Structure 1
């Protein structure tokens, strides 16, 4: 399933946008279908000649430049925020892979399930378009079954997103912090995604710590978007870990979306399983002790046919919700009304500049609502949730997928 050309829209409770405090504004929540492997060919709202437009936009940018604060016109946007793209892999799935992590009997089986789940949160992006950069204080709150997911944009310059997700029935918790740093290299843009990701199996007392691969956008010789680089997953409680390599495709396009790696004993660095496959199809592990192989991940079973989130309780949808903040921009993009999209995006950005100016004039420092945030040069950004668990959301994903 690709992005829906007809958005799911519902009237939301008229709250002010983040930090606005300017009275009630009636907004509509616009929700679009999740990213999918066939989205590139099915999306119908993209403007023509995007490659030429992109190269023209980057014509005056020097190679090696940091693109963090680079502003994209809506013609280069998909109708959803980066917060939504960050959270979707957790709640837009056909099968509950997280429950497998909790129910696996042995530490090795649990780590293998965590590896499979970590691969499942790798989703394809569409060349030539990108999600909106979240505004300061923007939130995204969605539930699927007993899993409740809450995200907040805790910093704008630099952009830092925090995620907290809990499932009280399965007794699991996720705490993530994401700080993307995109750089332009002439023929490509490479984004390093800094920040720690933790998956906690609370009943077992196990914490799995992992990082994210890098996002590579290539302009030449063949335009495309790929996840590349190394991901390391460790669990100090069990002494087991994994190393995965998302491989960059060759000039001829071979090895696209391929992944190789190993599951190992951390104390001895002994390899227990070898990991091999493609994250958009199937991934297998091979037991090095006997050569037996098994499939641990099948993308078609997990991702294909994922449902679009729906507004369950419109009265409780906040004005800070991504689907509300960017609703007018999204409607403009989906209808290819670029003037409408441009004016709506300009209005959102101008409001944020105005609020920042007001805070600066009063000597006020903006404080996140749902997370405590810290930064140091050695460890980077760290985001800790204020509440112990995430409440059920007014937006939910149908559980029959």
Structure 2
């Protein structure tokens, strides 16, 4: 999906590919299953072919993660793509709703912006994320809903997407549907119409000639992904997710829930102890892979310390 963003021959082709990539990053949310709480400095370094990714938890309280991703042209060995991705998952601002028309639910807002830069073309794409709607009645469920805007200042292109969830009783329309458009920012002229289901297939239609093109096929981009494998155990750092949560994960796979809870509590207690020690010494933790800074306009942001991400000890096979 990222390669398609680079391969586009025109700004419009690249923008449509970025829209498809943005949609592909959404995964079906499983009700009642909570992720691990990442610890400060936790990293995930993984490679897939020529794609090298470094992810680091850079702030504890705001749960801001920063991602630096490089795709290298193997023949020319040059950097052609960088991604900086902020995801404020830990500070979900929840709006509790209880109304006869929509049922009892929790709406979680994901703050922050996703920033994708195509270095070859000096194009910067900024986008937000949809909200997570968790319903408890009549049937427990979780769905991505709301509006997403994608902008590229350099090309003057913009997209508006609307994620729709199911009605209260499931009678009205189909859930996981998505509709939107790609248009010129300066004139608001619509160039493409977008429709489909983000967990299946999403199409764009050229309003000029009516031609339709698939920009996202979930079956191809999600269902065939293979689990990452540890290729070089000695190359794993102590803060690698596979190391930090290894004992917890193994216990879960064995369905030894008591062991999993104990191992999880041990990880969290160790993190609390380290935080107390830093506070007692008046020390400020510094990220290993990113330079962290704050601006009034953008809030917290980061820049990668390395120009390129090196190959990782963990690989995601094709």
In the other structure, the counterpart of 2:147 is: 230
Structure 2 unaligned residues grouped into runs of 5+: 74-78, 98-103
Structure 1 unaligned residues grouped into runs of 5+: 1-96
Check the 8 A contact 1:195/1:382 in 2, yes or no. Answer: no
Q: TM-score, normalised by structure 1?
A: 0.73
Residues 207-237 of structure 1: per-residue CA shift (max 9 Å, x gap): 2111111122211122111111111111111
By how many angstroms is 1:191 displaced? 2.2
Question: Paired residue for 1:135, among 18, 32, 39?
Answer: 39
The question of 1:193 aligning with 2:102 is answered no
The question of 1:209 aligning with 2:109 is answered no
In the other structure, the counterpart of 1:262 is: 181
Mapped partners of 2:256, 2:236: distance in 1: 26
Mapped partners of 2:2, 2:137: distance in 1: 38
The question of 1:112 aligning with 2:16 is answered yes
In the other structure, the counterpart of 1:94 is: none
Q: How does 1:269-284 map to 2 (within 5 A)?
A: 269-284=188-203
Number of equivalent positions: 303
The question of 1:174 aligning with 2:93 is answered no
Question: Paired residue for 1:221, among 138, 155, 158?
Answer: 138
Structure with more contact order per residue of length (Cα contacts < 8 Å, sep ≥ 6): 1
Residues 300-355 of structure 1: per-residue CA shift (max 9 Å, x gap): 12211211101111110111011110111112222221110111111111111111
In the other structure, the counterpart of 1:385 is: 304
Question: Paired residue for 1:322, among 233, 241, 244?
Answer: 241
In the other structure, the counterpart of 1:20 is: none
By how many angstroms is 1:374 displaced? 2.7
By how many angstroms is 1:264 displaced? 0.5
Check the 8 A contact 1:259/1:279 in 2, yes or no. Answer: yes
Mapped partners of 2:36, 2:15: distance in 1: 34
Q: How does 1:322-361 map to 2 (within 5 A)?
A: 322-361=241-280
Check the 8 A contact 1:176/1:383 in 2, yes or no. Answer: no
Greater mean alpha carbon deviation, residues 353-362 or residues 291-300:
291-300
In the other structure, the counterpart of 1:62 is: none
Q: How does 1:296-307 map to 2 (within 5 A)?
A: 296-307=215-226
Q: How does 1:75-94 map to 2 (within 5 A)?
A: none
Check the 8 A contact 1:259/1:278 in 2, yes or no. Answer: yes
By how many angstroms is 1:378 displaced? 4.4
Q: Sort the Cα spacing of 1:275 and 1:231 in 2 relative to 1 into closer, same or farther, 3 A.
A: same
Partner of 1:171, secondary structure, is strand
Q: Which has the higher strand share?
A: 2
Mapped partners of 2:106, 2:193: distance in 1: 31
In the other structure, the counterpart of 2:76 is: none
By how many angstroms is 1:376 displaced? 4.7
Mapped partners of 1:296, 1:367: distance in 2: 39
Partner of 2:35, secondary structure, is strand
Q: Sort the Cα spacing of 1:371 and 1:185 in 2 relative to 1 into closer, same or farther, 3 A.
A: same
